[in-house]
Chains A and B, each alone.
Chain A
Amino acid sequence: MKREILNYPDKKHFSPKSNPRWGKEEETEIFGQNVKLFRKGKISEDDFRRFRLQHGAYGSRLQQNYSMVRIKIPSGEITPEQLEKIGALSEAFSIGSAHVSTRQNIQLHWVQLEDVSEVMRGLVDVGLTTREACGNTIRNVMCSHFAGVCPDEEFDSTPYSKAIARFFLRNPVCQNLPRKFKINFACCSRHGLVRIADIGLIPMKKEGINGFKIYLGGGLGAASFIGHQLEEFTSEDRLVSTCVAVVRLFDRLGNRENMARNRMRYLVNEMGWSKFQRLVIKERSNVEMTISLETLNRYKVEWETPGIRQLSNGRKLPLINEKVDVNSDPYKRWLHSNVVPQKQNGYFVVFITLGAGDITSNQLRSLAKTIRNYSGEECARNTPNQNFAVRYVKANNLPEFYNDLVKIGLANPGALSLSSVVGCSGTTSCNLAITNSHRLAKEIQSKFIELGIDTEDSLRDSTIKISGCPNSCGQHEIATIGFYGGASRVDGAMTPTYTMMFGGKDGEEGMLGKSVMRVPAKRVIATLIKIIEIYKQERSAEESLSRWISKLINGVVNGRGQVKSLDDMKSALAQTVTLPSPSDDPEAYMDYGNDIKFSAKTARGECAA
């Protein structure tokens, strides 16, 4: 049963993963027809919106004639052929760049509504779908990008993640939920977003049996909650009945009235965890007693054993732990912050650094080639940090791999460091956004690479994540330093500002960040640099930034200096966050990407609450 890693002596026996068939041709036809009917006024706006969202097309910022097409990448696993196709579709119908989201989707922005069916048609060719990528249904099922290669995992959760995704896609049980529903699989307690999902799952074994530790009712948004553990251990044969039970409960009891409070986490919170927990256990018994064989047959865990292609003889690579600094050889610097060893001896995971998830069509095409050349499994995974992970790379292929990336402008260091900043799409395309979080994330990244922040090991376990509004698509609440956008009056002028949060965490230890203070958009970079400076003065010996910040928010810092609490921090930053007067520097009051006076414009949200 267990997926085996086979080292075949040559390529002959290797068959790359075939594209799964998630998409359906007829759905693209139906979508095209419905757009025409909608334009003729034969479908109401509300009905059409619902239909459009169910098929993964989200309205663009203040321009309903354009869509963001959200392509689901179940478990984040993507083949070179799929990357090439997304590149071609982006070039033809979108803006020539694709955007990797924080939930393992790939988004094409500003697609004319009339062309959405064409994009879907292209996706079906390579087995992909946008079905149920938006709307009140089960969204893309995520799986840790380390699953299968993580040294700490008990088994590979990928086949389960895919089986659950297949089970729920187009399943009548989840076509009209009170609100969207998210399922995230981890590989171990460290990697994965299990505490901020409706259902979060960590693989674990008990007495030799595969199963999961399941967390329920977590989620980020205007009000965020950390998920609760259902039971000590859920064996794999109860996985599907447990998930169905939770979805059915939510469907039945969830709030269908108040759009702002209808995610499952509110239901859990209002009802109280212990009551919800009892209901889930009871509902699961009902499901197990009544589920039809036909329904059950939708669920099938497929252990793929394609084998891993032997690329060449591998050597151990000690280099990646070597100390580097801003003046180091670029290749060494890249190795240091973009490459990690797998549990399989001699293989490495290579991370491709993107800027807030953006990648051009040409880069997608070239990256596809690189993956074919150097990944033993001939596919990649997109990560919630808006990067790509290419796995099963042999040590002696790393220099060539790097050179390929240099040629296509994808060789930036820092994918696994503080300089890899997450940013949602913000005012570049989203109706709800107040600020240009997307551009800010990229600005921080380039500044940090310039400063060599990626080379500093004490900053490596920290993250920066930015959302353009309180709705958390940028997952700011689980960042070491998170920001969400807003508008405030500063010195009489409307100004784009961010609320800064400290101490968020992902993984099983998931924790929500604490609000610190507001920072004007144009002072965010200076503020971050100042925080790092203060941390370096204040930390005790080997303490990492994230550890120091944890202690700071708990008020248990015992360093030498002045900053021992959040209040101290606020005072220390007071000067840095202050803007010059509007007449001295009008630009300081504008948002990134704008040369006009700032004003907060938003419209109805369709996707995130």
Chain B
Amino acid sequence: MRSLKYAFKEKKTNNILSKNRTLSKSQDIITNVDILRSLIRKNSVRIVDVRKEDEYKKEHIKTAISIPLATVLADDSPERIVKLLEQSGISDKTLVVVYDDTFGALAARVAWTFQYVGHSNTSLLETTFTKWKNYGFETEKKVNVFPRAKHSLKVNTDIYANYDEVEKTKTEQNKILVDSRERLNFLSEHIPGATNLPYTMLGTSDSILREPQEIRRFMENRGISTDNEVITYCGSVGTLSGLAYYALRMGGVKNIRLYSRSFKEWKKLGKPIEEFKDANFWDLSAE
């Protein structure tokens, strides 16, 4: 039974791989399950599970360590993040693959944080934990501990945006602000000038991110070119917009930043907001 499933999966992922070849870079962003399995076998990857610790303890992908999203967010100063990496046995050169069990957004926020402190060699697993398990791939219950490693700190400010930079998107032509919250939240209120690319558009039931050519089409439809400077934001801590950050990178945007403090900070600072109150759109949702 397992081998059957595996064969099917292999066929499918080969297919995705061949499509991906036409657009480079996407493989850096996403690691497919077959590659991760062979990396596990070769013991040449550090897998990061960002779910809650008790979920990790119940079961996780073989060799994974636990760095819950909440732990990262509790204090995401670069110094502390580097310390977390070192404690987890991640050195500058270690390949890191991050996964969650929602739809990639939590993993994306953690991966972005690692890259922000200089660990560029970070990638997202294409699928979620539940799907990995359903495929019948390797899991374990053992809590993994690795010897402490040394990691340098090179803050990558090119991928981060503060509210000042967000403000500039309104006047500077080449800059585009992307709101990745759901449509109804966006309609209710958003940062003036933002364009809505809901996170629900980014993935499929098979993969946390669609194929690059599809993302590219969504961008083109919205008039986002790969040469634009793009900033993504969402509701509060930069998870949904973290996923959008990787999606747009996969679509070929070269200069892209995450406004990780997002709409929550923007509102708290009393910055201008665009509201739409002339329609009762919330009442269209079914219970």
A residues near B, CB below 8 A?
Answer: 32, 35-36, 39, 60-63, 66, 88, 91-97, 99, 109-110, 112, 114-115, 117-118, 354-355, 358-360, 363, 409, 425-429, 436, 438-439, 442, 591-594, 596, 601
Q: What residues of A have a CB within 8 angstroms of the CB of B280 in the complex?
A: 426-428, 436, 438-439, 591-594
Q: What residues of A have a CB within 8 angstroms of the CB of B182 in the complex?
A: 95-96
Pick the residue among B187, B217, B223 that contacts A39 (CB under 8 A).
B223
Q: How far is the CA of A558 from the CA of B198 in the complex (A)?
A: 61
| 20 new A-B contacts at CB < 8 Å, known A61-B279, A95-B284 | A60-B279, A61-B278, A62-B279, A63-B276, A66-B187, A95-B281, A96-B200, A99-B284, A109-B281, A109-B284, A110-B183, A112-B196, A114-B221, A115-B221, A117-B221, A427-B279, A428-B279, A436-B283, A439-B283, A594-B280
7 contacts between A and B (CB under 8 A): A60-B279, A118-B221, A359-B286, A360-B287, A427-B280, A428-B281, A436-B283
B16 at interface (Cβ–Cβ under 8 A)? no
Considering only CB atoms and an 8 Å cut-off, how many residues of chain B contact the other chain?
A: 26
Q: How far is the CA of A429 from the CA of B282 in the complex (A)?
A: 10
Q: How far is the CA of A582 from the CA of B30 in the complex (A)?
A: 59
Q: What residues of B have a CB within 8 angstroms of the CB of A428 in the complex?
A: 279-284
Contact A115 B218 (CB under 8 A): yes
Q: What residues of A have a CB within 8 angstroms of the CB of B276 in the complex?
A: 63
Contact B284 A358 (CB under 8 A): yes
Q: 1/0 per residue B244-259: CB within 8 Å of A? A: 0000000000000000
Closest 10 CB pairs of A and B: A358-B286, A593-B280, A439-B283, A61-B279, A114-B221, A428-B284, A360-B286, A62-B278, A593-B283, A428-B280
Q: Which of A92, A360, A439, A592 has the most CB of B within 10 A?
A: A92
Q: What residues of B have a CB within 8 angstroms of the CB of A117 in the complex?
A: 221
Contact B285 A429 (CB under 8 A): no
Q: What residues of B have a CB within 8 angstroms of the CB of A591 in the complex?
A: 280
List CB contacts (< 8 Å) of B184-220 with chain A.
184, 187, 196, 198, 200-201, 205, 217-218
Q: What residues of B have a CB within 8 angstroms of the CB of A358 in the complex?
A: 284-286
Contact B201 A93 (CB under 8 A): yes
A97 and B279 in contact, given A32-B221, A110-B187, A114-B221 (Cβ under 8 angstroms) = no
B58 at interface (Cβ–Cβ under 8 A)? no
Q: What residues of A have a CB within 8 angstroms of the CB of B278 in the complex?
A: 61-62, 601
Contact B279 A63 (CB under 8 A): yes
Q: What residues of A have a CB within 8 angstroms of the CB of B201 in the complex?
A: 92-93, 115
B271 at interface (Cβ–Cβ under 8 A)? no
Pick the residue among B218, B222, B223, B282 that contacts A593 (CB under 8 A).
B282
Pick the residue among B183, B205, B283 that contacts A94 (CB under 8 A).
B183
Q: What residues of B have a CB within 8 angstroms of the CB of A409 in the complex?
A: 287
List CB contacts (< 8 Å) of B72-105 with chain A.
none
Q: What residues of B have a CB within 8 angstroms of the CB of A66 in the complex?
A: 187
Nearest opposing residue in chain B for A359, CB measure:
B286
Instruction: Tell me the minimal C-beta distance from A486 to chain B in angstroms.
Output: 17
B268 at interface (Cβ–Cβ under 8 A)? no
Q: 1/0 per residue B174-186: CB within 8 Å of A? A: 0000000011100
Q: Which of B182, B277, B281 has the most CB of A within 10 A?
A: B281
Q: What residues of A have a CB within 8 angstroms of the CB of B284 in the complex?
A: 95, 97, 99, 109-110, 358, 425, 428-429, 438
Instruction: Tell me the minimal C-beta distance from A365 to chain B in angstroms.
Output: 10
Instruction: Tell me the minimal C-beta distance from A438 to chain B in angstroms.
Output: 6
Q: What residues of A have a CB within 8 angstroms of the CB of B282 in the complex?
A: 428, 593
Q: How far is the CA of A543 from the CA of B281 in the complex (A)?
A: 40
Instruction: Tell me the minimal C-beta distance from A353 to chain B in angstroms.
Output: 11
Instruction: Tell me the minimal C-beta distance from B185 to chain A in angstroms.
Output: 10
Q: Which of A35, A110, A594 has the most CB of B within 10 A?
A: A110
Instruction: Tell me the minimal C-beta distance from B150 to chain A in angstroms.
Output: 44
Contact A442 B283 (CB under 8 A): yes
Nearest opposing residue in chain A for B199, CB measure:
A92
Q: How far is the CA of A439 from the CA of B284 in the complex (A)?
A: 8
Instruction: Tell me the minimal C-beta distance from A433 to chain B in angstroms.
Output: 9
Instruction: Tell me the minimal C-beta distance from B48 to chain A in angstroms.
Output: 28
Instruction: Tell me the minimal C-beta distance from B88 to chain A in angstroms.
Output: 35
Nearest opposing residue in chain A for B223, CB measure:
A39
Q: What residues of A have a CB within 8 angstroms of the CB of B187 in the complex?
A: 63, 66, 110
Q: How far is the CA of A63 from the CA of B184 in the complex (A)?
A: 13
Q: How far is the CA of A409 from the CA of B221 in the complex (A)?
A: 36
Q: What residues of B have a CB within 8 angstroms of the CB of A96 in the complex?
A: 182, 200, 285
Contact B283 A95 (CB under 8 A): no
List CB contacts (< 8 Å) of B212-244 with chain A.
217-218, 221-223
Q: How far is the CA of A427 from the CA of B201 in the complex (A)?
A: 26
Q: How far is the CA of A409 from the CA of B286 in the complex (A)?
A: 10
Instruction: Tell me the minimal C-beta distance from A480 to chain B in angstroms.
Output: 24
Instruction: Tell me the minimal C-beta distance from B243 to chain A in angstroms.
Output: 13
Q: What residues of A have a CB within 8 angstroms of the CB of B286 in the complex?
A: 97, 354-355, 358-360, 363
Q: How far is the CA of A95 from the CA of B283 in the complex (A)?
A: 11
Q: Which of A109, A354, A442 has the most CB of B within 10 A?
A: A109
Q: Which of B201, B218, B279 has the most CB of A within 10 A?
A: B279
Q: How far is the CA of A62 from the CA of B281 in the complex (A)?
A: 12
Instruction: Tell me the minimal C-beta distance from B135 to chain A in angstroms.
Output: 20
Q: What residues of B have a CB within 8 angstroms of the CB of A112 in the complex?
A: 183, 196, 222
Instruction: Tell me the minimal C-beta distance from B217 to chain A in angstroms.
Output: 7
Q: How far is the CA of A425 from the CA of B200 in the complex (A)?
A: 23
A114 and B283 in contact, given A94-B183, A95-B182 (Cβ under 8 angstroms) = no
Q: How far is the CA of A66 from the CA of B278 in the complex (A)?
A: 14
Instruction: Tell me the minimal C-beta distance from B189 to chain A in angstroms.
Output: 14
Q: What residues of A have a CB within 8 angstroms of the CB of B205 in the complex?
A: 88
